[in-house]
């Protein structure tokens, strides 16, 4: 049986490595990864070390690789991006998050290859306009992200929709607006790790956990809410899209339920069998103007497209992350 080749950009990263693992478990597929691994001590290479990756290419060599291996590629799953919401170099963000996405989208369209990409709930800005994944150009153009990262993702989403309307899209094109993803393989993300990963050392050591105070009237400290989704649910949803092949569009991907940071921290303590110990600290001034106090993904459009699998509850996902990974000697999937 001839194997089918899938390219996962950002495939050694947090979400990308789970997608690579999910696809590599299928004996009919071969998975090639494009990424940068950095210093060995970061541990990013470990995100891939348990999985049979067929090929690895650095971002600088991607064009040449596509020239030699592109004829065998069935689909590009594009997770590669600068995901830091505090990255100061906007040119760097735009070149990576928009420029590379635009070029890969065009390559897939020219060669008849399928394209699935990572968008973000950061495109919705402060959420004042809601979180409806309306794919019309008018709705996308009306979004007001709070930072360059969110803007770069919104810019590409709009570009993809416009190209699709012009008849210049790949045979399958699907963007997923990820909400707050947490889970194994995020250790290399440093300050951009999930709150679960950040507070785990304190929980494990029996120390008090620190959460940000609220700076909005009517919202208590710790009551800021996000839509937290476990990374395995994300990987399974992406794999479903790949295997379906006939579903195109722009979709939210969250659990569909907003939960507070207090709920999240409490779930980590419970998973560790400890009584919660939480205090609230000042939020850095540079974050206050771009802080989202509420996110929740309406999932009707993705469900209507045919994805019916249940998502883990916050408590289920955190318990699996803590007991299966963070509390173990080998926290990598």
Listed by start position, the domains of the chain span 4-181+227-256+296-311, 188-225+258-292+320-326
DSSP E strands, the chain: 4-9, 29-34, 55-57, 73-78, 114-120, 173-178, 180-182, 209-212, 225-226, 228-230, 249-253, 259-260, 278-281
Whole-number pLDDT of residue 131: 97
For residue 288, the model assigns a pLDDT of 84
pLDDT at residue 239, as a whole number? 98
Average pLDDT over the chain, rounded to whole?
95
Task: State the fold for domain 188-225+258-292+320-326.
Answer: UDP-galactose 4-epimerase; domain 1 (3.90.25)
Q: How far apart are CA 156 and CA 166, in angstroms?
A: 15
Residue 97: phi and psi, rounded to 5, are -80, -35
Rounded to an integer, the average pLDDT of 181-192 is: 94
Which residue in 44, 50, 124, 149 is the catalytic one?
149
The tally of CA atoms less than 13 A away on the side-chain side of residue 1 is 8
Q: Is the pLDDT of residue 187 over 70?
A: yes
With a pLDDT cut of 70, the percent of the chain lying above it is 99
CATH number of the structural domain 4-181+227-256+296-311 = 3.40.50.720
Catalytic site includes residue 189: yes
Tens of pLDDT, residues 281-298: 999 988 887 788 999 999
Confidence (pLDDT) at 190: 87
The one catalytic residue among 44, 124, 153, 189 = 189
In this prediction, what percent of the chain has a pLDDT beyond 90? 91
pLDDT reading at 2 higher than 70: no
Q: For 308-331, what is the mean pLDDT? A: 97
Active site residue 198: no
pLDDT at residue 43 tops 90: no
pLDDT at 255 over 90: yes
Each residue's pLDDT tens digit, 8-38: 999 999 999 999 999 999 999 999 999 999 9
Per-residue pLDDT averaged across 61-77, rounded?
97
Residue 1 pLDDT exceeds 60: no
Choose among 272, 157, 295, 131: nearest CA to 226: 295
């Amino acid at each position: 049986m001839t194997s089918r080749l899938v390219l996962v950009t950002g495939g050694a990263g947090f979400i990308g490595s789970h997608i690579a693992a999910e696809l590599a478990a299928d004996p009919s597929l071969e998975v090639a990864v494009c990424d940068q691994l950095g210093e060995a001590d970061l541990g990013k290479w470990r995100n891939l070390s348990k999985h049979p990756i067929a090929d690895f290419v650095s971002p600088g060599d991607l064009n040449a690789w596509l020239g030699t291996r592109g004829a065998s590629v069935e689909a590009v799953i594009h997770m590669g991006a600068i995901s830091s919401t505090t990255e100061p170099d906007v040119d760097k963000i735009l070149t990576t998050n928009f420029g590379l996405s635009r070029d890969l989208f065009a390559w897939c369209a020219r060669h008849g290859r399928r394209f699935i990409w990572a968008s973000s709930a950061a495109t919705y800005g402060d959420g004042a306009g809601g979180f409806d994944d309306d794919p019309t150009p008018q709705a996308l153009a009306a979004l007001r992200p709070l930072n360059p990262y969110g803007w770069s993702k919104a810019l590409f989403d709009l570009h993809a929709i416009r190209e699709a309307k012009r008849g210049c899209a790949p045979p399958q094109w699907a963007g997923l607006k990820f909400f707050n993803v947490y889970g194994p393989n995020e250790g290399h993300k440093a300050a951009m790790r999930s709150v679960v990963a950040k507070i785990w050392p304190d929980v494990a050591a029996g120390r008090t956990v620190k959460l940000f105070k609220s700076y909005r009237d009517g919202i208590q400290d710790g009551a800021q809410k996000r839509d937290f989704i476990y990374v395995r649910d994300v990987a399974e949803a992406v794999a479903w899209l790949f295997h379906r092949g006939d579903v195109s569009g722009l979709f939210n991907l969250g659990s569909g339920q907003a939960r507070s940071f207090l709920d999240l921290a409490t779930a980590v303590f419970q998973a560790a069998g400890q009584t919660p110990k939480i205090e609230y600290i000042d939020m850095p001034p540079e974050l206050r103007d771009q802080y989202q106090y509420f996110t929740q993904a309406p999932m009707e459009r993705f469900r209507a497209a045919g994805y019916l699998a249940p998502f883990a509850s916050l408590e289920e996902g955190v318990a699996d992350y803590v007991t299966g990974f963070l509390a173990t000697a080998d926290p990598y999937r």
